[in-house]
Structure 1
Amino acid sequence: MKKIIFIIGIMFLTLVSCTADLDTEPKVELSLEELLATDPNAVEGIVSRLYASFALSGPDGPGSSDISDDPGESPFLRGIINLQDFTADAMKNRWGDDGLDQLTTTSSWDANNKFFRYLYNRAYYTIPQCNNLISILNTSNLPDTGEALLEARFLRSLAYFYLIDAFGKGVLVTEENLNQTDPLPESNRRQLFEFVEAEMLEIQSSMSEDNGYGRANKYVAAMLLAKLYMNAEVYIGENRYSEALTYLNIVIDEGGYQLAPNFLENFSADNDVSPEIIFPLIADAVNSQSFGNTTYIVNGSLSSDTMTLSEFGAAEGWQGHRATSAWYGLFGDLGTSNDARAALFWTSGHNYVMTDYREWTDGYPSIKFRNTEFNSSSNTTTSFSSTDFPLYRLADANLMYAECALRGAAGADMNKALTLVNNVRTRSSADPISMNELTLDFIIDERGRELNFEGHRRTDLIRFGMFTGSSYLWPWKGNVQNGASIPAHYNLFPIPEQALSANPNLQQNPGY
């Protein structure tokens, strides 16, 4: 049983029209203020619901939606996977949904693609919901709500982080705008960056060291700050690797996290006991069903035609996602590699070369995520996944530290960097590397081996200058089998057309 069970039977917040940023449509008779006055303990449920907005589609099961988009396609986590992994080198999807082909081939992007709208809308659903709670808690006399206030500010910042990364601009909506009806001005990437930075700097040290599994604490906030600073050269044109290192040291040295002894512990249905996961998005096959949490990853990577679904705890196989040689090629010969991660591809009946990205048997499905318990032999098959999604985990922090050290971060210890990297490798029985082998080229490849399908790859490639242009080609980049150059403006997604229509202050990103 998960330590957090999302309270989704009551919709106690106001539904916000995402594209209009501030327009509201009441869904219940009680206002938030009235609800809290009636039941002060409802704060806990409200905070849980804010967390759930990153993994679930709506309050009433997998067919419900908080927003006016498709409940199966539009959940936040599904958007992260679609926009971070399918647009990049390692993962491709074969379904051919309207707009999904354009993501998986990184080609023909435009503002009407519904998958860009989904992520934008989810962010602008979550942010005002956080604002509602922040506003009330800032002025209430409810006892023991200080941590809830900090968590709401963290979750708001996390949503803004994805806007900064994906779209590079947006509207800055805070609790100060709750009664404002006029369209807000556009905020550029630096303004959003500085808002998130200021919020996190203000609350990080005040947060609890342990809020319980699935909740943000001071180390989770430090990880968000480290992610923000790691990408500052892309976001605001400033080298902030030294600041990233500061917060990575907090996570690594003070957080008490440890690499799980076995890599697969992080991607199994009982991964809530993994000592490595810093911040998960929780899934539960009974209590938090969604087509947009790890159900999408697990079921989408399986097929009853070529696999035994029960081996992965799944009742359904959707025949959607396969890796390309840009991922499994990083391990060399999969048959002879001693790296345990190299075994996490289904090769039987599949072709190494992805001649046709719409052909299920072209490319190897990733079996990294599964819905079976690592620590138990008694497993049942379910249509939905109980595997939590590790949004942040220690192996990522280790590799980030090494990258910061290689990029000249003040105070970095190269011996520590090498040890952290080798800890990640030897955990999976991969050969340790020497100091001479620890290079930025090695780091981007090791991040691919360790972190692919975890929502980081596009951002990583952009940071390394490898996403656009022709210096690095991968299968089906630019809608060409062997890869083709794509324009530099693809480093940002287009602002969705609905958002532009709803707020005349928003301007489209260049190139679209």
Structure 2
Amino acid sequence: MKTRFKIHKALGFIFLCVVTLTACTDDLDITPNDDQTTLSNDLYANEGAYKQVLAGIYANLALTGTDGPESSNLDGIDAGTSQFGRVLLYTQTLAADQMIWSYENDPGTREIQRNIWTAQNPLLLGMFSRAHLSVALANDFLRETTDAKLDSRNVSTAVRNQIPAYRAEARLMRAMAYYYLMDLFGQANFTTENDALNTQPIAYGRTELFNFIESELLAIEADLVDAKQNEYGRADKAVAYMLLAKIYLNAEVYVNENRYNDCVTYCEKVISGGFTLATNYLHNFMADNNSNSAVNEIIFPIISDGLTTQNYGPTTVMVNGSVGSIEQNGAEVGVTEGGWGGALRVRKQFAQLFEGPFADDDRNTIISEGRSIDINDISDRDSGYIIQKYSNATTTGSFGIDLTFVDTDFPLFRLADVYLMYAEAHLRGGGGSASTALDYLNALRIRANNPAVLTAGEMTLDYILDERARELHWEAHRRQDLIRYGRFTGGNYNWAWKGNGSNGISLASHLNLYPIPTASLASNPNLTQNPGY
């Protein structure tokens, strides 16, 4: 069992940089409580603060404020619309062909799942703002850990020996924030620790962001902890390799370059880090996935704890939301019996991927009895199938500590994705071994107890796209996958409620990027609205 990274109190430490945030996030007002605001020099007088402030950067992925799940440190932005993992799930999964949210009066959800969003959508503002806050927190930490600052504080040798790894982790978290901004919005307010405070940020487009992310990840490699050698919940070399593999797999979308060979190379680097598939697929999505066999598969999680990190993040949403209005299956998954009353269901096209030889696949957690596959009325919670992928149950037969806020960590990156990326990049001309790619794909089938062994002739790009949906559904990848395959916009693949049509209609190509939020444009004239909005 790995040591779990303690982030539950760390978010309070982000307020040390209140006065420095304006330069990075002009559209945000960070609202601290007076007793949580500490001058940097006073804070860092305690040498333990360096690790605690680093933990605060990670905490920004899980928490929205310091005063419970309803609190938000982004003034004017609701906690429910700005939790990093939740808005990432909405922008990557709810916007595509796998998920339906029943309660369309929840701000922003109707427009996201019907693909009719505008620049005023609060979920898009939440994503844009939360990612920029990650950048700001990392920048502040880097400013406070220079050699000059450490010298001025007479920091001990023991702590100084840890600082290079800490700084590399902060740079990695910043690069990851820029990665999601590049993928979703194609632009970002760009700042580093070297920029003067309280100045207008420049705007970086996709090419500039791609080049920065790549160079940063390569530059910090030597200072990062080796794969699987850090505390659980902290980043290591494998996370950097994973991000590099991701940007290389999608490089034709981002910068119109073929980088599939590099994708294969960095997939191999991740795989060589000692990761193995969990013995059971569902172990990855249970309340003890920080200690069961999933710890060997999960490369980087967003930590969730039902007691100390209560938040309305992705796993809390999905476990409660997957309790059916008919089934009342909350007791099975470790939340209140009625859960959220059928908040989440699956779209028809996703359910059909588990027909035929995949009906008995372990990854098929669809519950269909007494339900129609079609959702003709989104508000009718009794129509459409539900799934039970995520749970607040443990492998030992117990449940998480709370019946609403789950203990289940969100597996942001895991080994199964690397296997699929390797096979896809190989088929797209990236080199590697055909037999190895086939072995990786069959390893996923074998783990899912699917007896239909894949043959070399069946290993196609279309198969991999479908297999990514079966393996990685509801893990915030699908929009990106469909865009890479040219099937998100246009009309060559339609799904239920795509483009606000019950059977799906063609989408305009500009929807491959989200708009820059109106509030962000107003605060930084260097940003420009994406075409089509």
Query: Which category describes the TM-score, using the shorter chain as reference length?
Result: over 0.9
Q: Runs of 4 or more off by more than 6 Å in structure 1?
A: 22-26
Alpha-carbon distance in 1 for matches of 2:501, 2:400: 42
Is the contact made by 1:135 and 1:175 (CA closer than 8 Å) also made in structure 2? yes
Is the contact made by 1:223 and 1:251 (CA closer than 8 Å) also made in structure 2? yes
Tell me: CA distance 1:33–1:199, structure 2 relative to 1, closer, same or farther (3 Å).
farther
Alpha-carbon distance in 2 for matches of 1:8, 1:506: 34
Is the contact made by 1:277 and 1:392 (CA closer than 8 Å) also made in structure 2? yes
Alpha-carbon distance in 1 for matches of 2:260, 2:384: 36
What's 1:269 paired with? 287
Deviation at 1:31, TM superposition (A): 2.1
Alpha-carbon distance in 1 for matches of 2:401, 2:172: 35
Tell me: CA distance 1:256–1:101, structure 2 relative to 1, closer, same or farther (3 Å).
same
Higher mean C-alpha displacement, 423-432 vs 385-394: 423-432
Deviation at 1:464, TM superposition (A): 0.6
Aligned pair 1:67/2:74, yes or no? yes
Q: Deviations over 1:402-422 (max 9, x none)?
A: 001000013x10000000000
Aligned pair 1:255/2:270, yes or no? no
Tell me: CA distance 1:157–1:3, structure 2 relative to 1, closer, same or farther (3 Å).
same
Deviation at 1:102, TM superposition (A): 1.1
Q: Percent identity?
A: 40
Alpha-carbon distance in 1 for matches of 2:480, 2:40: 37
Partner of 1:363: helix, strand, or coil? coil
Partner of 2:470: helix, strand, or coil? helix
Partner of 2:349: helix, strand, or coil? helix
Partner of 1:72: helix, strand, or coil? helix
What's 1:323 paired with? 346
Task: Supply the RMSD in Å over aligned alpha carbons.
Answer: 1.9
Deviation at 1:391, TM superposition (A): 0.5
Alpha-carbon distance in 1 for matches of 2:510, 2:516: 12
What's 1:57 paired with? 64
Is the contact made by 1:56 and 1:293 (CA closer than 8 Å) also made in structure 2? no
**Structure 1 residue runs without a partner (length 5+):** none
**Structure 2 residue runs without a partner (length 5+):** none
Tell me: CA distance 1:375–1:113, structure 2 relative to 1, closer, same or farther (3 Å).
same
Q: Deviations over 1:283-340 (max 9, x none)?
A: 0000110012411121122246522311100126113111112112111159x82311
Q: Deviations over 1:166-199 (max 9, x none)?
A: 00012211111242x2322221111111111110
Alpha-carbon distance in 2 for matches of 1:291, 1:458: 22
Alpha-carbon distance in 2 for matches of 1:29, 1:497: 30
Deviation at 1:92, TM superposition (A): 1.2
Partner of 2:445: helix, strand, or coil? helix
What's 2:132 paired with? 124
What's 1:8 paired with? 9
What's 2:385 paired with? 364
Deviation at 1:346, TM superposition (A): 2.2
Aligned pair 1:146/2:164, yes or no? yes
TM-score (norm 2): 0.91
Tell me: CA distance 1:378–1:200, structure 2 relative to 1, closer, same or farther (3 Å).
closer
Q: Deviations over 1:123-167 (max 9, x none)?
A: 111111110001111233342212111110010111111100000
What's 2:99 paired with? 91
Is the contact made by 1:21 and 1:124 (CA closer than 8 Å) also made in structure 2? no
Deviation at 1:377, TM superposition (A): 4.5
TM-score (norm 1): 0.94
Q: Match for 1:482 among 496, 499, 503?
A: 503
Counterparts of 1:443-454 in structure 2, within 5 Å, are 443-454=464-475
Alpha-carbon distance in 2 for matches of 1:207, 1:247: 15
Aligned pair 1:423/2:443, yes or no? yes
Tell me: CA distance 1:29–1:453, structure 2 relative to 1, closer, same or farther (3 Å).
closer
Deviation at 1:23, TM superposition (A): 7.6
Aligned pair 1:291/2:312, yes or no? yes
Partner of 1:171: helix, strand, or coil? strand
Alpha-carbon distance in 1 for matches of 2:91, 2:279: 30
Partner of 1:63: helix, strand, or coil? coil
Higher mean C-alpha displacement, 345-354 vs 502-511: 345-354
Deviation at 1:372, TM superposition (A): 0.4
Alpha-carbon distance in 1 for matches of 2:370, 2:65: 38
